[in-house]
Amino acid sequence: MMWTTAVLLLLLPHLLSSTDTGNGTNFNQSEIDSEDLSDAPGKGQKLLGGVKGRDTCSIPCDITVKLLRDEKHSVCGQLQQSLLAFGRSTRKLMRDVMEEQQRALDILSTQVTELMTKVQTLSSEVQRSNTEMYSVKPVQSHGRDCSDIKDSLVSVVPKIPSGIYIVHPENTDSSFEVFCEMDYMGGGWTVMQRRTDGLTDFKRPWVDYADGFGNLAGEHWLGLKKVFYIVNQKDTRFQLHVALVSNDEITSYASYDDFRLDSETQFFSIHLGRYAGSAGDAFRGYDQEQNQDTAPFSASDVDNDGCNPFCSIENRTVESCSTQHNQTGWWFNQCGLANLNGSPENAEQNQGQRTHILWDTWRQNGVPHTIKSVSIKIRRIATNN
Ligand SMILES: [Ca+2]
């Protein structure tokens, strides 16, 4: 603007020399003085290089002042327009930036939601496949037990799948479902108990331990009656296998080369043959007082635990081993060093109670392993018959 003003001032004498000769413009000093030029850079006369009065002013002062005033108004107007435009563009810029950020946030939010949905879908899929891995419909293949089914299928099926099968033990009118492990150590195993996630309640009365409970594809107790039917078939012998996994993923086992149960009238007393394995013979313990071999079964409401009226265990007076062991059922004997029906989740002993899975002979540096899962399975021993 400054250079425009300067050019105008330089050109003014030439522009005005023609017009001043006539009588077209005729401003006087009083008119000039009445103009508000307070914002102008000095009074009009002073701007014209010290021209004083009409007579000495080479450029008519009134015209100069008018031009300057117009120039000022023009400059102010332009400045105002510029400010307005600047304000508008700033607001638009801010609006654009905010809208862009909002769009980015919306996209992120959508992506997060999609990811969450995918994670949830995957999670439920994994959960479902875990629980339903084996929960296929029972194979309609009747055998007397899983060993028998394996023997009859091995020549016609290249790979016999593990899963739920229907068995019909000899000399009974009872058919029922069992889980057969056909991969583990040669296959043919009937699963008698499985404890893996602690989701199944093992605090049960006698009737449940006699009949069985849980999900055959997951945690379950097959039931003493069914096991009795299987192991008391004619001309059969069964081995019993305990498979243990510790919290730090160490595996171990205890195997007994002979296993049978007495009938319910004798409280399903357990009979075990020779021990072999890496987990120690916790069924028998270290002395006769701890020996569970030949012990009758106890449950929360049936007390055959050998503590009559009570035992002294770890300086505690115990009347019921089932109560001491989280209301579970087992072949307790004062109470002994084994109870595989404890919970995988209660690694810590609770106020002297034994709520966890117990196989006390399996130790490392003198400390028992914390057991996170266990299964008990039985299989026929080949006989000469
Ligand atoms: Ca008792």
DSSP 67-128: HHHHHHHHHHHHHHHHHHHHHHHHHHHHHHHHHHHHHHHHHHHHHHHHHHHHHHHHHHHHHH
Distance 273 CA to ligand 1 centre (A): 26
My answer on whether 178 and 307 are in the same domain is yes
Residue 1: predicted pLDDT: 43
- Backbone φ and ψ for 137, nearest 5 degrees, come out as -60, 145
In a domain, 118, yes or no: no
My answer on whether 303 and 188 are in the same domain is yes
My answer on whether 279 and 192 are in the same domain is yes
Q: What confidence tier does 125 reach under pLDDT thresholds 50, 70, 90? A: confident
- Residues contacting residue 232 through CB under 8 Å, at least 6 positions apart: 169, 171, 260, 261
- Backbone φ and ψ for 256, nearest 5 degrees, come out as -125, 125
Distance 318 CA to ligand 1 centre (A): 8
Residue 382: predicted pLDDT: 83
Residue 119: predicted pLDDT: 86
In a domain, 214, yes or no: yes
Residue 132: predicted pLDDT: 58
DSSP track, 35-65: S--TTSSS-HHHHTTS--HHHH-SS-HHHHH
> 54-75: per-residue pLDDT in tens?
455 577 888 888 888 888 898 9
Average pLDDT over residues 239-243: 98
In a domain, 258, yes or no: yes
Q: What confidence tier does 263 reach under pLDDT thresholds 50, 70, 90? A: very high
Distance 358 CA to ligand 1 centre (A): 19
CATH of the domain at 248: 3.90.215.10
In a domain, 277, yes or no: yes
The residue assigned the tokens 């299928």 is: 153
Q: Which of 273, 324, 321, 326 is nearest to 297 (CA)?
A: 321
My answer on whether 156 and 98 are in the same domain is no
Q: What confidence tier does 171 reach under pLDDT thresholds 50, 70, 90? A: confident
Distance 340 CA to ligand 1 centre (A): 19
Distance 302 CA to ligand 1 centre (A): 9
Residue 161: predicted pLDDT: 92
Q: How many CA atoms lie within 13 A of 367 on its CB side?
A: 7
In a domain, 141, yes or no: no
Positive or negative torsion for Cα 15, 18, 24, 28: positive
Is residue 209 within 8 A of residue 228, CB to CB? The reply is: no
User: CA-CA distances (angstroms) from residue 66 to 44, 48, 310, 343?
Assistant: 9, 13, 122, 102
Distance 69 CA to ligand 1 centre (A): 116
Q: What confidence tier does 37 reach under pLDDT thresholds 50, 70, 90? A: very low
Distance 193 CA to ligand 1 centre (A): 24
Burial (0-12, 13-18, 19+ Cβ within 10 Å), 41: exposed
My answer on whether 86 and 159 are in the same domain is no
198 — alpha (psi -120 to 50), left (phi > 0) or beta?
A: left
- Residues contacting residue 203 through CB under 8 Å, at least 6 positions apart: 300, 326, 327, 328
Of 64, 93, 112, the one marking the end of a domain is 112
CA gap 356, 245 in Å, rounded? 13
Q: Which domain holds residue 195?
A: 146-381
Of 112, 131, 157, the one marking the end of a domain is 112
My answer on whether 106 and 150 are in the same domain is no
Distance 203 CA to ligand 1 centre (A): 17
Mean pLDDT over the full length of the chain:
84
In a domain, 48, yes or no: no
My answer on whether 185 and 294 are in the same domain is yes
Distance 206 CA to ligand 1 centre (A): 15
My answer on whether 100 and 154 are in the same domain is no
Is residue 379 within 8 A of residue 188, CB to CB? The reply is: yes
My answer on whether 90 and 229 are in the same domain is no
Amino acid at residue number 151: D
Q: What confidence tier does 91 reach under pLDDT thresholds 50, 70, 90? A: very high
Distance 263 CA to ligand 1 centre (A): 21
Residue 122: predicted pLDDT: 84
Q: What confidence tier does 16 reach under pLDDT thresholds 50, 70, 90? A: very low
Residue 274: predicted pLDDT: 98
Average pLDDT over residues 290-297: 97
Number of domains in the chain: 2
β-bridge mates for residue 16, sequence order = none
> 320-329: per-residue pLDDT in tens?
999 999 999 9
Distance 266 CA to ligand 1 centre (A): 17
Distance 310 CA to ligand 1 centre (A): 6
My answer on whether 95 and 176 are in the same domain is no
Average pLDDT over residues 261-277: 98
Q: How many residues does the chain have?
A: 385
Of 94, 112, 130, the one marking the end of a domain is 112
Higher-pLDDT residue of 330 and 156 is 330
Which of 53-62, 155-164, 205-214, 221-230 is predicted with the least confidence, judged by mean pLDDT?
53-62
Higher-pLDDT residue of 31 and 194 is 194
Distance 309 CA to ligand 1 centre (A): 6
Residue 143: predicted pLDDT: 93
In a domain, 9, yes or no: no
Q: What confidence tier does 9 reach under pLDDT thresholds 50, 70, 90? A: very low
pLDDT surpassing 90 at residue 358: yes
In a domain, 4, yes or no: no
CA gap 69, 81 in Å, rounded? 18
Residue 57: predicted pLDDT: 57
Average pLDDT over residues 336-362: 84
My answer on whether 370 and 316 are in the same domain is yes
Distance 331 CA to ligand 1 centre (A): 12
Distance 271 CA to ligand 1 centre (A): 21
Distance 292 CA to ligand 1 centre (A): 14
Q: What confidence tier does 117 reach under pLDDT thresholds 50, 70, 90? A: confident
Distance 335 CA to ligand 1 centre (A): 9
My answer on whether 93 and 189 are in the same domain is no
Average pLDDT over residues 230-249: 96
CA gap 198, 326 in Å, rounded? 13
Residue 47: predicted pLDDT: 44
Q: Element (H or E) spanning 165, and its range?
A: strand 163-167
Residue 30: predicted pLDDT: 42
Q: What confidence tier does 313 reach under pLDDT thresholds 50, 70, 90? A: confident
Distance 321 CA to ligand 1 centre (A): 7
Q: Which of 342, 333, 336, 335 is nearest to 371 (CA)?
A: 342
Distance 200 CA to ligand 1 centre (A): 25
Which of 99-108, 114-123, 186-195, 302-311 is predicted with the least confidence, judged by mean pLDDT?
114-123
- Backbone φ and ψ for 213, nearest 5 degrees, come out as -160, 170
Q: Element (H or E) spanning 375, and its range?
A: strand 371-380
